[in-house]
Amino acid sequence: MKYPNLKIVLTLGVVVLTAISCERELSDEAVFATFPKTGDIFTDAPVGLGSDFYFPFLGSKATAFSVDESEGYQSSASIRIDVPNANDPEGNFAGAIFRIDGAGRNLTGFDALTFWAKASQGVTIGEIGFGQDFLENKYQVTRNNISLGTNWAKYVIPIPDPSKLVEERGMLWYAAGGVGPVGQETGYTFWLDEVKFEKLGTLAQPQPKILFGADIIEDTFLDITIELAGLTQTFNTASGQNVTVTAKPSYFNFESSDIEVARVSELGVVTVVDTGEATISATLANVAASGSLALNVVGPFDSAPVPQRDPNNVISVFSDAYQNINVDFFNGFFGGQTTLGGAIDVAGDNVLRYTNLNFVTTQFSNPTVDASEMTHLHVNIKVEEPVQGGDAIVIELGDFGADGVFGGPGSDDSAGGAAPIDSSTLIADQWITVEIPLNSFTNGTGGGFSGLSSTSNLAQISFVSSNVSSILVDNIYLYKE
């Protein structure tokens, strides 16, 4: 009578204690929520992608994608991509991602993305893949240069390690340019159908690689970071064809032989922390990857000389001492080149580092550079290996002509090489200063070129060597005396 709610309170207490007990000791039969395991992406229509799933790349024609209800592989509809002409005001290429509008999918039960495709003419599609979501792109995969004919054919893009794809939103992505000379490309159409993730069970002989399979040995310095490149996975398919894809670092498990000297993150970034020796290697899905990076950490980094010229007389491509122009890339990874590397940060000092050098190009075409008033090119170079008699480096400049476009109408591009920097000038493990008159390039004194026709639309600088493998480069700038 005095405590009418006591029974209720005691009852609730028992319920709470029971609930807590259940939380601490889950039954072996408890089932956790999982992400959808649907493999289909497009079969006559988008499958489970939501209402907002198509995101074009910057510069791509936004209307390139549509659903074609009059064309399909043994069906009534397909994905249609209209690749534009180079002069299309809406964009000069077609490229986009298909990202799920909502929760991702569990793709661990599949081993490949497959699709049927054809084109309005025989073409090569630059890139098709999955895993790109405009967020982390953590598990992005790319298959390059896919050849399409005018008849339907099936294509396979292997998953490097399906166990990683527990929640993936990036279902498909592509990038395709027109056909013909650069700047004059003409468009075409291609179709994709029956786009899905499948469990083929026929992918065999995995051959993962880092650094394109090369075993690289190099001296390095404290506080340097190195981003591992050349990450690929290759499978043999049921047709007997080897299919190679480029894989993001998160597919790999990296290892350092001595973490007190060099450590490597899951994103493939090596951080040097102490002097000594360490070798970086990797596995992918428990298969050892070809390629390794053996580092000999020799001590603190020796910076290049600090430029002292008046900034008003300088056009700087790469230097911490000046305001730099816009650069497209420091390594174009062009066909036929073996060179690895690019820009690195050594304790706040930005330098270019290249290994496995045969040739490498820095491009600055947006916009091109008018160097008609400049008189010289300045570069600091350090060779990171013994210098032998006959060693040489040729520096080349490229001009895109009056149209400012590589390979544009009339082919007004030109290139010139300067006289080689030979073994009498190069010094092992020591910065040298190279200052070349620009008329050395216009006269074509090296590199096998007839010479630059002008320097008013400069867009490229290249370093070429057949016998020097590892170099550091800094303070690339044009100046007038």
Residue-range domains of the chain with CATH: 40-198 (2.60.120.430), 211-297 (2.60.40.1080), 311-479 (2.60.120.430)
Q: In this predicted structure, what is the pLDDT of residue 409? A: 53
pLDDT band for 429, please (50, 70, 90 cuts). confident
Confidence of residue 454 (pLDDT cuts 50, 70, 90): confident
Average pLDDT over residues 268-272: 93
pLDDT value, residue 166: 95
Length of the chain, in residues: 481
Is pLDDT larger for residue 142 or for residue 456? 142
Residue from 83, 97, 343 nearest 187 by CA: 83
Q: Residue 19: pLDDT band by 50, 70, 90 thresholds?
A: very low
* pLDDT tens-digit series, residues 436-451: 999 888 766 555 556 7
Q: Is the pLDDT of residue 3 over 50?
A: no
Query: Which pTM does this prediction carry?
Result: 0.74
Q: What is the pLDDT of residues 163-195, one digit of tens each?
A: 999 999 999 999 999 998 767 789 999 999 999
Higher local confidence (pLDDT), 221 or 67: 67
Mean pLDDT of the region 282-304: 94
Q: What is the rounded CA–CA span in Å between residue 250 and residue 139?
A: 6
pLDDT at 16: 37
Q: Rounded to whole angstroms, how far apart are CA atoms 206 and 229?
A: 19
pLDDT of residue 46: 95
Structure tokens at 106: 């569990």
- At 426 the pLDDT is 93
pLDDT above 60 for 232: yes
Interatomic CA distance for residues 121 and 41, integer angstroms: 25
User: Per-residue confidence at 32, pLDDT binned at 50, 70, 90?
Assistant: very low
- Taking the C-alpha atoms of residue 324 and residue 352, their distance in angstroms, rounded to an integer, is 14
Strands 153-158 vs 112-119: parallel, antiparallel or unpaired: antiparallel
Q: 215-220 and 292-297: which strand pairing? A: parallel
Residue pLDDT, tens place only, 326-351:
999 999 888 788 898 899 888 788 99
Distance CA 167, CA 142 (A): 19
- Dihedral sign (CA 366, 371, 374, 377): positive
Give the model's pLDDT for residue 473: 96
Please measure the distance between the N-terminal and C-terminal CA atoms of the chain and give it in whole angstroms.
105
Instruction: Give whole-number Cα distances, 230 to 237, 344, 437, in Å.
Output: 22, 17, 36
Tell whether the model's pLDDT for residue 415 goes beyond 90.
no
Given a cut of 70, whether residue 375 has pLDDT beyond it is yes
Average pLDDT, the chain: 88
The pair of three-digit structure tokens given for residue 5, joined into one six-digit string: 């709610």
* C-alpha closest to that of 223 among 290, 140, 301: 301
